[in-house]
């Protein structure tokens, strides 16, 4: 290497070399002797060839992708099971001819198929007779007590103590997390709330997908509107 070439190489930055290699991807194919001579210092202190390091990196990436794929498959299987149970619960509710029967079907399905221990249905429209498991309140009073729970179709995660008290009464102290479904119609008419509680704090999370929860709320609201 001449002195002029050596001076030129010395002035090249890492960025220049990276850019050149990106723009000339066949460089190492045209100069395999460069690739063969390269060595990288491993964490253990041993020197390994660049080819060996690339093979190791590809193997690690493949393992990472395999783990990611396994997680996606687990999620897909869980979603498939949830969909099957939601579908059956929906079909059972469609058979209800009375409000009392509708509430019983929903309660039974949530407790047996989804292991829900705490549940409260609050309606903002007066109905007589009042079915077992249903509480009647006014929308005005609900807005005074739990305004944040009425702003969207559903909320999942941790709730404040006063919100748990309003929704579940004395059982609120035992609930770690909850899902609250705002039962409303497309015309924005608010029918009530369906509150589902669990003892574990991580069971319902604010980051969880609410697709199935919102679907259940939409179906139940339309069925409630029949009565």
- Longest CA–CA span in the chain (Å) reads 100
Query: 184 and 120 in one domain?
Result: yes
Selection from 183, 171, 177, 169 nearest residue 216 by Cα: 183
| For helices 211-225 and 99-113, angle between their N-to-C axes, nearest 10 degrees | 160
Residue 70 domain flag: no
What are the residue ranges in the chain where pLDDT is below 50? 1-5
Question: Residue 118: beta bridge partners?
Answer: 197
- Look up the domain containing 52 and give its range: 3-62
CATH, residue 169: 3.30.450.40
Query: 122 and 221 in one domain?
Result: yes
Look at residue 3 in the predicted model and tell me its pLDDT. Answer: 45
What is the rounded CA–CA span in Å between residue 102 and residue 133?
11
What's the whole-model pTM score?
0.67
Determine the straight-line distance between the first and last CA of the chain, rounded to whole angstroms.
91
Which is it for strands 134-136 and 118-123: parallel, antiparallel or unpaired? parallel
Residue 79 domain flag: no
For residue range 65-115, list pLDDT tens digits in order. Answer: 888 888 888 778 888 888 899 999 999 999 988 888 999 999 999 999 888
Query: 30 and 120 in one domain?
Result: no
The sign of the torsion formed by the CA atoms of 78, 83, 84, 86 equals positive
Query: 135 and 57 in one domain?
Result: no
Residue 172 domain flag: yes
Query: 121 and 52 in one domain?
Result: no
The 10 Å Cβ neighbour count of residue 186 is: 8
Query: 151 and 215 in one domain?
Result: yes
Tokens representing 166 are 């309003």
Residue given tokens 């190492």 in the structure block:
28
Residue 90 domain flag: no
Residue 95 domain flag: no
Residue 71 domain flag: no
Query: 219 and 133 in one domain?
Result: yes
Query: 138 and 42 in one domain?
Result: no
Residue 80 domain flag: no
Domain count, the chain: 2
Look at residue 194 in the predicted model and tell me its pLDDT. Answer: 95
Residue 24 domain flag: yes
Which residues are CB-contacts of 60 (< 8 A; sequence separation ≥ 6)?
Answer: none
Last residue of some domain: 20, 39, 62? 62
Last residue of some domain: 34, 62, 90? 62
Query: 54 and 124 in one domain?
Result: no
Last residue of some domain: 62, 90, 105? 62
């Amino acid at each position: 290497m001449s002195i002029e070439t050596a001076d030129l190489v010395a002035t090249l930055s890492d960025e220049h070399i990276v850019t050149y290699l990106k723009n000339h991807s066949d460089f190492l194919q045209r100069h395999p002797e460069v690739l063969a001579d390269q060595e990288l210092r491993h964490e253990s202190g041993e020197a390994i060839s660049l080819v060996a390091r690339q093979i190791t990196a590809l193997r690690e990436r493949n393992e990472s992708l395999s783990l990611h794929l396994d997680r996606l498959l687990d999620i897909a299987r869980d979603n498939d099971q949830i969909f099957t149970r939601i579908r059956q619960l929906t079909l059972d509710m469609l058979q209800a001819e009375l409000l009392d029967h509708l509430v019983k079907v929903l309660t039974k399905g949530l407790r047996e198929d989804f292991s829900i221990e705490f549940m409260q249905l609050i309606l903002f429209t007066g109905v007589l007779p009042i079915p077992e498991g249903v509480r009647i309140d006014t929308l005005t009073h609900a807005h005074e007590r739990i305004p944040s729970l009425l702003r969207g179709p559903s909320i999942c995660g941790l709730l404040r103590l006063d919100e748990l008290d309003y929704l579940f009464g004395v059982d609120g102290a035992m609930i770690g997390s909850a899902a609250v479904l705002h039962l409303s119609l497309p015309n924005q008419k608010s029918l009530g709330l369906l509150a589902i509680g669990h003892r574990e704090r991580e069971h319902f999370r604010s980051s969880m997908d609410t697709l199935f929860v919102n679907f259940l709320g939409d179906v139940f609201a339309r069925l409630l509107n029949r009565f």
